């Protein structure tokens, strides 16, 4: 058998394997959730004259040590494979945790639920001191609430809730301040797949452009002009392999929050 024929067979088997994996991913217990432009943002280059359109995931970070420990406890971090034996106040803590390698885990993200509302309350308390905070209506409502090494038990735990489970990168953080002292916590730094491609058949449902709107952000009365993103809803599906795809897109009137 010639090398050309062997190469052709290998390519055929590879493509067939990819199609089989894609079909298996979309079969069975598929998760479905509705997100908005807050959680799946258009690229800055939109509208793009050519090429694929990818929406980028956005979520609320839980980087505050006290908040992070509510969902990523030391025991949970140990279950994910992190070594947590060194106390935060130890002289070796900064060196040990600074060298801790990130790990991939399955992370459950809750949409527009109790975790998001609790975060919003904390942000609102801080906004008086920082007038340049992002407007509440622009902030993502997707919040990490749980993590595990095994996918299926985590998905079953939140079955029927507005939760999706995605593969993500978790990193150990270390910080010490005069007021709070030393702290060690876990943080979701990025998703394994940070973007999802919009099928060609659905691209026409995305708004053509953003419009400018006047919004009061400054207590002094100055009203700068900001760029308001186009509004839309995305029906997102997550398969058994954790791969995501866009099932449908619904454009919304600008200002409909």
Query: How confident is the model over 14-38, as pLDDT tens digits?
Result: 433 434 434 444 555 789 999 999 9
| Helices (H), ranges, the chain | 3-26, 65-71, 74-79, 93-98, 114-127, 151-157
Instruction: Check residue 75 and give its pLDDT.
Output: 96
DSSP state of 218: -
CA distances from residue 127 to 21, 28, 39, 94, 217 in whole angstroms, order as listed: 47, 45, 21, 31, 11
Coil/strand/helix, residue 134:
coil
Task: Give which of 143, 124, 133 is closest to 187, Cα–Cα.
Answer: 143
Separation in Å, CA 32 to CA 105, 188, 195: 20, 22, 17
Among the listed residues 26, 4, 44, 92, the one whose alpha carbon sits nearest the alpha carbon of residue 230: 44
pLDDT reported for residue 214: 35
Considering the chain, what percentage of its residues have pLDDT values greater than 70?
72
Tell me what pLDDT residue 120 has: 87
Locate the DSSP E strands across the chain. 31-36, 40-41, 53-57, 103-111, 142-148, 163-177, 181-191, 195-198, 211-214, 225-228, 231-238, 244-252
Find out whether 56 and 43 touch, Cβ atoms under 8 Å. Answer: yes
Rounded Cα distance, 201 and 205, in Å: 9
- CA-to-CA dists, residue 79 to 109, 158, 171, angstroms: 18, 19, 14
Listed as ranges, residues in the chain with pLDDT below 70 are 1-28, 45-50, 126-137, 209-229, 255-257
């Amino acid at each position: 058998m010639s090398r050309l024929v062997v190469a052709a067979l290998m390519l055929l088997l590879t493509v067939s394997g990819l199609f089989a994996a894609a079909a298996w991913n979309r079969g069975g217990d598929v998760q479905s959730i509705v997100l908005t432009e807050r959680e799946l943002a258009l690229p800055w280059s939109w509208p793009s004259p050519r090429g694929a359109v990818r929406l980028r995931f956005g979520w609320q970070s839980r980087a505050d040590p006290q908040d992070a420990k509510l969902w990523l406890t030391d025991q949970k971090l140990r279950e994910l494979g992190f070594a947590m034996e060194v106390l935060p106040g130890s002289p070796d803590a900064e060196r040990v945790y600074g060298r801790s390698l990130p790990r991939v885990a399955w992370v459950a993200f809750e949409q527009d639920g109790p975790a998001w509302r609790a975060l919003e309350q904390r942000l609102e308390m801080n906004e008086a001191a920082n007038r340049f905070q992002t407007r509440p209506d622009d902030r993502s409502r997707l919040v990490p609430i749980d993590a595990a090494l095994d996918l299926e038990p985590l998905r079953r735990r939140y079955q029927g809730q507005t939760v999706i489970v995605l593969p993500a990168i978790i990193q150990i953080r270390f910080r010490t301040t005069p007021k709070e002292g030393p702290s060690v916590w876990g943080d979701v730094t990025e998703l394994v797949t940070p973007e999802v491609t919009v099928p060609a058949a659905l691209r026409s449902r995305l708004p053509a452009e953003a419009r400018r709107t006047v919004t009061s952000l400054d207590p002094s009365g100055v009203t700068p002009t900001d760029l308001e993103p186009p509004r839309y809803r995305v029906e997102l599906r997550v398969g058994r392999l954790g791969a995501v795809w866009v099932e449908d897109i619904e454009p919304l009137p600008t200002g409909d929050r």
